[in-house]
Chains A and B, each alone.
Chain A
């Protein structure tokens, strides 16, 4: 099983662009989901959309979440708290820049390494 990667940006275009860059690196070998924009489609983040993304890539291997600015991190935390308890521990929010972090995390995940090393790889992008 491979660690999943979730990209959360205030901008749908940034999230999609970062996801495109990840796909270019690792193809389909890593479960990847992304979201951007508030519930009305403007700049911002959407708790329900983040939760859906996490659920889509979740496996027992775990999930790392890359976020851009403060509100994205807080909304990712809220989404995490809405997950069933059994899933929550396997989801880590990275303290990393969203584009570089996502590419680093996915590259590490594609080698089959553990959740913690995927998170560390993302955070080394700082």
Chain B
């Protein structure tokens, strides 16, 4: 896993666990406004289970590690976020070259895996952009990564581009009318609230970007 570039999975896993823990109450409060009020608790349960198998994950190549994290979320979460985030990570993991460690992967591999993950969320949730869901963050972020790659942005600029896209996409869920999930039962009353799933997707993406940033600065690329 630890090649000469020093890019390892552990800091990413830790960052994801930390950000979900730190924002669990906020996610639950968002979900209380327009859902069933369990998003933060469920995500925390899932990521606590991931934390418990961290040593096992560190021993795996990137693809299998993501698949195992996904399966852990599926089995432990107990709400809709389990199958959604679980399918997302499992599809991402499957799309990566089987034996590759994180440091062996190129950004094109990551972009391809992200696209596969997003596709899996669409299928699992039978949804797409515009329904006020996590897809309203994930789809634009996936597109931003593809676009940044096509424009050959430097790593630090690419990370910044993704962070800004994620933040703007999250904010755009506020005025949306929910047509999927528990929030859709509220109809017009869902308008004016950020979507909790979009918020957790933003938080996870932002945390991953933060890890990439600190890696870039260590490499003298920032």
Contacts and interface: CB of A to CB of B under 8 A. Distances in A.
Interface string A50-82: 000000000000000000011100110110000
Contacts of B79: 38, 44-45, 71
Contacts, number: 59
B69 to A, nearest CB: 15
Interface residues of B, number: 23
Contacts of A48: 75
Interface of A: 37-40, 42-48, 69-71, 74-75, 77-78
B63 interface: no
Interface of B: 36, 38, 41-42, 45, 74-84, 86-87, 124-125, 180-182
Q: Interface residues of A: mostly helix, strand, loop or mixed?
A: loop
A46 B83 CA distance: 10
B82 A47 contact: yes
Contacts of A38: 42, 45, 77-79
24 contacts: A38-B45, A38-B77, A38-B79, A39-B45, A39-B78, A42-B78, A44-B42, A44-B77, A44-B78, A45-B79, A46-B78, A47-B75, A71-B79, A71-B82, A71-B83, A74-B83, A74-B124, A75-B78, A75-B83, A77-B83, A77-B124, A78-B82, A78-B86, A78-B87
Q: Interface residues of B: mostly helix, strand, loop or mixed?
A: helix
Contacts of B38: 42-44
A75 to B, nearest CB: 6
Contact of A39 (B41, B76, B80, B83): B76
A42 B81 CA distance: 15
